[in-house]
Amino acid sequence: MEYPVPLVEGTIIKRYKRFLVDVELPSGEIITAHLANTGSMKTCWEPGWKCLLSFHDNPKRKLKYGLEMTSNGKTWIGVNTHLPNKIVLEAIKNGEIKELTGYDYIKPEYKVGNSRIDIFMSRGDKSCFVEIKNVTLLGDNKTALFPDAKTERGQKHLRELTRLIKEGHRGVMFYLVQREDVDLFMPAAEIDPEYASLLEKGHKAGLEILVYQCRVGKDGISIKKALPFKLPS
C-alpha cells in the first residue's frame, strides 16, 4: 500500500485524550494530529520520537494531520488502525498471502451473527472468514504481542470465529505486525488472559492463526514475510 501523497516528518511531543497527538514539524510549528488508534500505544511512542504524518486538505476535517507511523530509532511502526484491513485485502488480491489464495469472491466487512468480520471469501461451497488485528506491542525477546489493552471486542470476534468453524466454515485470525524489530508473535496473556484463552481454544477447534510482518517505511506499507507464533501453553 502506497500513500497517495508524501508523508510529513515530525517529532512527537505528547499523546492525550486518546486520539490526539501534539507534533513539532521541522519548521518549528506545533500541530495537533488525529490518531486513529484506540489501544494503549505502549512501546509505540515516547516524547521526542520521530513520526510520519499524512496531510488532508479537507474543509470538513477539524484536524488536517493524521499520525501514520512512529519510529523508535530501529524501525518504523504503523499505528493507524484504519489501514490493516486495506493492506491485507490488497495483499490477498495480489496473491501475497499463500494461505488465502483460491477464492473468487471477496467481500470486506461481512455481517455475520452479532459481528462484522473483516473479510469473507468463498469459491463454490468453500467459505472463509478472516478477522484482522494490527500488532504493534513489543514484548521481551523480540516478540510481538496482541492486544496492548483488554479488548472485549476482540474476545467477541474470537467467539464468533470459533462458532463459524464449528458450523463448518474456515476461520482465520490474521495478525498484521507493523514493526520490523520482532521475529515471533504471541497473545498478550498478561494484558488480556481471556483473549489469550479464547485464541487457544479457538485454535484447538480449528481456528487458523496467520501472522505476517510488514515492511514499514516512508514510501508505504507492504507485506514482508510470515512470522511464527507461540501460544501460552
Q: What is the CATH number of the domain that holds 139?
A: 3.40.1350.60
Q: Whole-number mean pLDDT of the chain?
A: 95
Of 78, 110, 126, the residue that ends a domain is: 78
**In the β-sheet with 115-123, what is the strand arrangement from edge to edge?**
105-112, 115-123, 126-135, 170-177, 208-217, 220-226
For strands 8-16 and 50-55, give the pairing.
Answer: antiparallel
**In the β-sheet with 143-146, what is the strand arrangement from edge to edge?**
137-138, 143-146, 184-187
Residue 156 in any domain: the answer is yes
Among the ranges given (44-53, 107-116, 184-193), the one the predictor scored with the smallest mean pLDDT: 107-116
Q: How far apart are CA 96 and CA 127, in angstroms?
A: 19
CB atoms within 10 A of CB 154: 21
105 and 217 fall within a common domain: yes
> 31 in the Ramachandran plot: left (φ > 0), alpha (ψ -120 to 50) or beta?
beta
What range does the domain containing 90 cover?
A: 84-226
Domain total for the chain? 2
**Whole-model pTM?**
0.95
User: What is the tens place of the pLDDT at every residue in 50-98?
Assistant: 999 999 988 888 999 999 999 999 999 999 999 999 999 999 999 999 9
Is pLDDT at 113 greater than 80 in this prediction? no
What is residue 87's predicted lDDT score, i.e. its pLDDT? 97
Residue 201 in any domain: the answer is yes
Helix or strand (DSSP H, E) at 70? strand 65-71
DSSP code, position 142: G
CA atoms within 13 A on the CB side of 171: 22
Query: Euclidean distance between the first and final Cα of the chain, in Å?
Result: 36
162 and 129 fall within a common domain: yes
Is pLDDT at 224 greater than 90 in this prediction? yes
* CATH at residue 12: 2.40.50.580
110 and 147 fall within a common domain: yes
